[in-house]
């Protein structure tokens, strides 16, 4: 992660920490971030469906800083007589003033305005996906990783590491937005969880006996561990290597 420029680090964190597709990440609006529930609402994902995924605790401060930056962009646009952002057609007709609101602005807004091709209006669109793809390629090269990788590799790593940590495959399916469970099951093959990974009943008996005889961890330790797994999964960036 140290190989990324700060400008590109936050979207990459969300690609891995939330399992987003590149297009889903760059199209996030400020209103799609729910800090209170620590979730991200993905609008019109693959297949045109909405879903909810996790908001990594390690990305919250960065997102708040990013929102402040977008606020400055937006205010400068309003002062210059602009400030409108693209909205879905039906919503744009029903709520025309919302296109000038801050919460509809893109989280990863571009640093400059451009002409919206359909309306011909000058607006501030989101960051171009090719710039982030290029940054990922450059970071892979700088890290000396001799494997093929892309922005989508972070989404694969998100799914693989969740399953590796013991999360239920149905939960992973919902977070990824897969329509068919068979698509999610591909990641179990990556982990080699076939018949050879099945646990013997004898091992379970021995393990449970040993576990009962051992000193149980304190409640504070358990709550800390649970909090780490559920709310601070993003710390894997510094503690685990992402397999590309």
- Catalytic, 27? Answer no
103 flagged as catalytic: no
Residue 46 is a catalytic residue: yes
SS3 100: helix
Distances in whole angstroms, Cα of residue 176 to Cα of each of 39, 42, 124, 156, 205: 13, 10, 28, 10, 35
- Exactly one of 46, 121, 137, 193 is catalytic; name it: 46
Q: Measure CA 168 to chain center.
A: 19
Active site residue 94: no
Active-site choice (13, 21, 27, 125)? 21
* Distance from C-alpha of 14 to C-alpha of 8, rounded to nearest angstrom: 11
Whether 67 contacts 31, CB under 8 Å: no
155 among known catalytic residues: yes
Active site residue 187: yes
Nearest Cα residue to 41 out of 25, 58, 22, 17 = 25
Pairing of strands 39-42, 51-54: antiparallel
Residues annotated as catalytic (active site), given as ranges: 21, 46, 152, 155, 178, 187
């Amino acid at each position: 992660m140290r190989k990324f420029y700060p400008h590109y680090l936050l979207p990459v964190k969300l690609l891995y920490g939330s399992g987003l597709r590149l297009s889903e990440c760059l199209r996030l609006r400020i209103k799609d971030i729910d800090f209170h529930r620590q979730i991200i609402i993905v609008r019109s994902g693959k297949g045109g469906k909405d879903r909810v995924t996790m908001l990594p605790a390690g990305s919250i401060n960065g997102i708040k800083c990013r929102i402040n930056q977008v606020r400055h962009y937006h205010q400068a646009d309003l002062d210059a007589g602009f400030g409108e952002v693209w909205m879905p057609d039906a919503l744009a007709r029903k709520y025309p003033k919302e296109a000038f609101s801050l919460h509809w602005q893109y989280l990863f807004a571009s640093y400059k305005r451009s002409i919206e091709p359909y309306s011909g209006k000058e607006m501030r669109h989101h960051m171009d996906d090719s710039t982030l793809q290029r940054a990922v390629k450059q970071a892979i090269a700088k890290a000396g990783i001799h494997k093929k990788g892309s922005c989508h590799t972070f989404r694969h790593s998100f799914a693989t590491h969740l399953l590796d940590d013991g999360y239920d495959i149905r939960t992973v399916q919902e977070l990824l937005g897969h329509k068919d469970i068979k698509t999610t099951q591909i990641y179990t093959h990556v982990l080699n969880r076939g018949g050879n990974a099945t646990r013997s009943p004898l091992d379970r008996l021995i393990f449970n006996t040993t576990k009962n005889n051992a000193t149980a961890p304190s409640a504070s330790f358990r709550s800390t561990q649970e909090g780490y797994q559920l709310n601070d999964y993003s710390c894997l960036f510094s503690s685990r290597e992402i397999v590309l």
